[in-house]
Each structure stands twice: as C-alpha cells, then as structure tokens.
Amino acid sequence: MTHLEYFLVAESVAVDQATNRISLFNVLEEITTSKECAIVPALVIVSAWYDDEEGDKPRAHTLTARLKIPGQDDSPIVSCEFTIHPNRRHRVLNRMSGLTLSQSGILEFEVLLDGAHQATHRVDVRVGET
C-alpha cells in the first residue's frame, strides 16, 4: 500500500544532485501583508510517498493538490501522475506561481492520492494588516 511519508508547502526547494537530499526554504505557515492584495510569486507542494507492499510490480497513482483560497469559491487544482516501486520512496514536487490572495483567512492545501484525502496543510493569511 502506498502511504504519505510527509507533505509541506514552501516557497522553494533544492535537491542536492550528489546525495538526492532535499532542502526546503521558507515553509509557508503564515502570510501577512499590509497591502490589500498579496501575491505569492512561487511555491512548491512537496510530498513523499512510500509503498510497503510486497511484489515487484510498480504501481501508478494520481496525485492531486487542491487549494481552498480565502474568499474564493473555486479551488485551483494541481495534478500529476507518478509510478512507485515496492519498498521504495517517491518524492513529488508540484510547483505553482502567481497565487493571489485578496482576503484574510485560512489558505488550505489538500493532497489526495487517487482521489482519496491524505493530508491538509493550512496557512494563516492576513491581508491588509501590519
């Protein structure tokens, strides 16, 4: 069975080519701006998955990241497919740019594996505050 190892949202990420280690920069926990509108120029949704089932056949999955933006009805969706091998970890990086926030509230990033909810990352948004 494939399960979630970890899931975070950050402004940027670096993967060391020699060691394959990952570094996350500016994990999003809070966004505060004195302006009437906040624009997040870039962000990356980072998740790692592990398949602990026996066997030798890789399994294909669809990963979906859904956003719930304060004051907006629709939620942007990022989706990708990946294949994971038994007893191996697979890291997925979903990049986004130009996220506009015009209202204070909670920004939610929800991650789904094959349509099933796995986790939520919440960011406190304060627009128009000092």
What CATH number has the domain bearing residue 12?
A: 2.60.40.10
DSSP annotation of 58? -
Q: CA-CA distance, 111 to 99, in Å (whole number)?
A: 17
- Among residues 106, 99, 129, 111, which one has the least CA distance to residue 47? 111
Report the domain count for the chain: 1
Spatial distance between the Cα atoms of 68 and 59, rounded to a whole number of angstroms: 29
Is this prediction's pTM over 0.85?
A: yes
Domain containing 99: what range? 2-127
- Tens digit of each residue's pLDDT, the chain (130 residues): 899 999 999 999 999 999 999 999 999 999 998 888 888 999 999 999 999 888 789 999 999 999 999 999 888 899 999 999 988 899 999 999 989 999 999 999 999 999 999 999 999 999 987 6
The one-letter amino acid at 61: H
